[in-house]
Amino acid sequence: MKKYFFSWMREHLRHNPHCVLLLCDLGYPEALDLIALHPDHVINVGVAEQNAALLAKGLCSQGFEVFIYGISSFTLWRAAEGLRMYFDPTDRLRVIGNGGGFGYGIMGSSHHSLDDLGLVSLWRHWTSWIPRRDQELTSLLKKVSPLKGPHYIRLTNNDLPTTDEFCALSNTGGGERVTVVTYGPLLDLVLPVLKDDSDVQIFGINTWPLDVKTIQSHFEKSQRIVFFEEHQIEGSLSQKIASVLEGPRAGIHIHAISQSSTNGSRNYLLASQGFESQNIRRNVNSIKA
């Protein structure tokens, strides 16, 4: 997704003099081109994510819109204190975290970002966004840019073509026996397997947090729920939905687990942890019984 981000950013900086992009030790050609084009508005802060957060706060306090771009796991955790403490609803901060979930694949567990959404959900005033496909990112950035408050955008490559704009909450299928919940690129693993199942409805929840009324209106009647999340179970969407719903119900949660001893591409890691078509179908069928 990064090429869509830098393409959009190039135009955004050209038309918005009160915008600054802070890069966390990146050497992408696209990033270097932006530094050359806008040396006063694009700053590579180096391996210093906490400094990026503090610099961003100062710029936000002076009315700037600030983007911080870096590897998701490093940008959020290394700068966690500053991001948690210093930003309020008037600050126009956008943290762009590349490599959400298993996005960095063979780079290993240090680069995997399996707790990012749970972490950000602990911080007051923050909103998280999870685009499904690469080409949706442009419409999402246009949506978020005018907004106040701190925002986190999780980038995970999915180059399937689309003409659709970003959709915060989607609902596919009218089945009433099983509700399937997922988000971001995982929708394109789940939908091909289940879209023709008349017993299933599939929710794509691409914006966090969800307010209580939205959760209740969509899930209160769901007695069988299956979650597919490229995220660890702690801080997951399933935990947040379960904390709101009342009464017993059947549930299955297929979630990501960080394993330093296992390495491979994103697709390999997903398949090894149950995110493949046969297992998706098997879990939905098992909860129907």
Helix axes 137-144, 2-15, angle to 10 degrees: 40
Reply yes or no on whether the pLDDT at 9 is more than 80.
yes
Contact criterion met (CB below 8 Å) for 182 and 229 = yes
Contact criterion met (CB below 8 Å) for 16 and 172 = no
Nearest to 93 by CA among 114, 108, 109, 79: 79
Instruction: Quickly state the pLDDT bin for 235 (edges 50, 70, 90).
Output: very high
- How far apart (Å, rounded) are the C-alpha atoms in residues 184 and 157? 10
Residue 206 confidence (pLDDT) = 97
Residue 163 confidence (pLDDT) = 81
Question: What mean pLDDT is predicted for residues 131-158?
Answer: 97
Going along the chain from its start, the domains and CATH numbers come out as 1-155 (3.40.50.970), 170-288 (3.40.50.920)
Q: What pairing do the DSSP bridges indicate for beta strands 127-129 and 65-71?
A: unpaired
Contact criterion met (CB below 8 Å) for 97 and 114 = no
Residue 162 confidence (pLDDT) = 83
Contact criterion met (CB below 8 Å) for 182 and 202 = yes
- How far apart (Å, rounded) are the C-alpha atoms in residues 261 and 257? 11
Instruction: Quickly state the pLDDT bin for 248 (edges 50, 70, 90).
Output: confident
Alpha carbons within 13 A on the beta-carbon side of 248: 0
Taking the CA atoms of the chain, what radius of gyration do you get in angstroms?
19
Q: How many residues does the chain have?
A: 289
Nearest to 35 by CA among 47, 21, 46, 51: 21
- How far apart (Å, rounded) are the C-alpha atoms in residues 207 and 227? 16
pTM, rounded to two decimals? 0.96
C-alpha distance from residue 256 to each of 56, 185, 199 (Å): 31, 14, 26
Cβ within 8 Å of residue 16, ≥6 positions away? 65
Residue 262 confidence (pLDDT) = 76
Helix (H, G, I), strand (E, B) or coil at 171: strand
Tell me the per-residue pLDDT of 172-199, one tens digit each, with 9 for 90 and over.
998 989 999 999 999 999 999 999 999 9
Q: Cβ atoms within 10 A of the Cβ of 122, count? A: 10
Tell me the per-residue pLDDT of 34-90, one tens digit each, with 9 for 90 and over.
999 999 999 999 999 999 999 999 999 999 999 999 999 999 999 999 999 999 999
Helix (H, G, I), strand (E, B) or coil at 82: helix
Q: What is the residue-averaged pLDDT of the chain?
A: 94
Helix (H, G, I), strand (E, B) or coil at 208: strand
Q: Percent of the chain at pLDDT above 90?
A: 82
